[in-house]
Amino acid sequence: MAGRLFIVSNRVTVPSGRATAGGLAVGVQASLRDKGGVWFGWSGELVDSPADRQFRVIERAKATYALLDLTEDEYVGYYGGMANRTLWPLFHHRIDLTSFEHHWHQTYRDVSQLFAQKLMELLEPDDRVWVQDFHLIPLGSELRRLGFGGRIGFFLHIPFPPAQLFMTMPWHRELGLDLMAYDAVAFQVQTDRDHFVDYARRELGAQQLEGDWLRIGSHSLEVDACPIGIDVREVERLTASAEARRQYETIRETLTERSLIIGVDRLDYSKGIPERLRAYQTLLAKFPQHRRKTVFLQVSAPSREDLPEYRDMRRSIERLAGHIIGRFGEADWIPLRYLNRTHSRRTLAGYYRAARVGLVTPLRDGLNLVAEEYVVAQDAEDPGVLVLSRFAGAAAILSGALIVNPYDVCGVATAIDQALTMKQSERQERHRQLMDAVRANDIQAWRKRCLAALEGAAVP
């Protein structure tokens, strides 16, 4: 009989009874609801010293939640430093914002060692471990060093950069070998998988085998592309909820027959929010027929506010939003509404339902589940149109969207005009295509594919 499934991530979300955002949290909860298991990670609590650290285990329904405290110094070096100021910008192709600090890297590895030590207190030989995301790349190597012989898989939720970009990091070889230590590694889309395979062959001397397999020395691993999806039925329930309906009615009343364009993102430089605002500004300038007839709602949840580049970005976005309102606004029409706070998923579902255009235009994104949630929230009889960045992983599967280059503000403006003027029959056909793709690549498909690889298959 197969052992338990251990899912490991930077942060653990213990169910609270209310819908919470976050693709990783939604995906992990779906996996645990199906067959149970253990979700292991940081508790979110910071302590003064290792002696104050607590390790708590909480049982909820089928699942177990194992929560580990970190010290302030660990958090600063591992999360604030290496994860968010080295790996995050580098993997999103922002070398200009990337910092390489050796003490961050050491703390990053120390935290993976700590996680591995605590995991070993819980693991049995036939258990399986599924590590999530860039915060914990070395964890598989650390578990092997401590003697764990069970199968270990890894899923990267963000993009993987081209080899030449990855190699700018002083510790690229160490992290590359850490990834090669897993039994199964999965990326969001084929491009990211290909970047890793190219790097592994060129820099690590890995041998490419038949199918999706690589070999380094005597160790073989399966490398796949497997986009994470959403729980379609859950989003449908959220959209049908009383809160979503109330938000839908409220926003429709305030629009007074105007068309709503919506953008929803975490406040992050990878999301292309300034470029998106400039595209809307270009729409109003280049297509004046949409003045007074549209409202753009940009919802940006605060993120990493302790980092200076994020504070600077927030101020620049607020200035740009004010400029657009000042230039085009009239006494009875405010063209742009900018909300910088977190909203519930039910509230967002109501906003999505009301929007004629969903504007999802990141400069670089592993996948982007907002695009899929927008699609599911639509009225199939009178759906809105998804305008989607070609640099979002979702573009590989959502071909029914209007695909744009987010750096081309004139091109995005033209796509918004196309979406606003699109006939109902074309909107319906595009929505059918999008729904088929979302259902075929939902959270269950992601879970089954990744866990099938984790279970192991014959090596070529």
Concatenate the DSSP letters of all residues of 273-336 into one string.
HHHHHHHHHHHHHH-GGGTTTEEEEEEEE---TTSHHHHHHHHHHHHHHHHHHHHH-BTTB--E
Q: What are the residues whose beta carbons fall under 8 Å from the beta carbon of 124, sequence distance 6 or more?
A: 3, 4
Counting Cα atoms < 13 Å in the Cβ hemisphere of 173 gives 5
Contact of 339 with 297, CB cutoff 8 Å: yes
> Which two three-digit tokens encode residue 93?
């192709």
* Chain Cα centroid distance, residue 126: 30
State the catalytic residues. 157, 365
> Which strands form 402-404's sheet, in the order they lie side by side?
336-339, 294-301, 259-266, 355-360, 385-389, 402-404
Q: Are strands 385-389 and 355-360 parallel, antiparallel or unpaired?
A: parallel
Residues 6+ apart with CB under 8 A from 345: 19, 20, 21, 238, 373
Rounded to whole angstroms, the Cα distance separating 182 from 311 reads 37
Task: Count the alpha carbons within 13 Å of 253 in the hemisphere toward its beta carbon.
Answer: 6
Element (H, E) at 251: helix 242-255
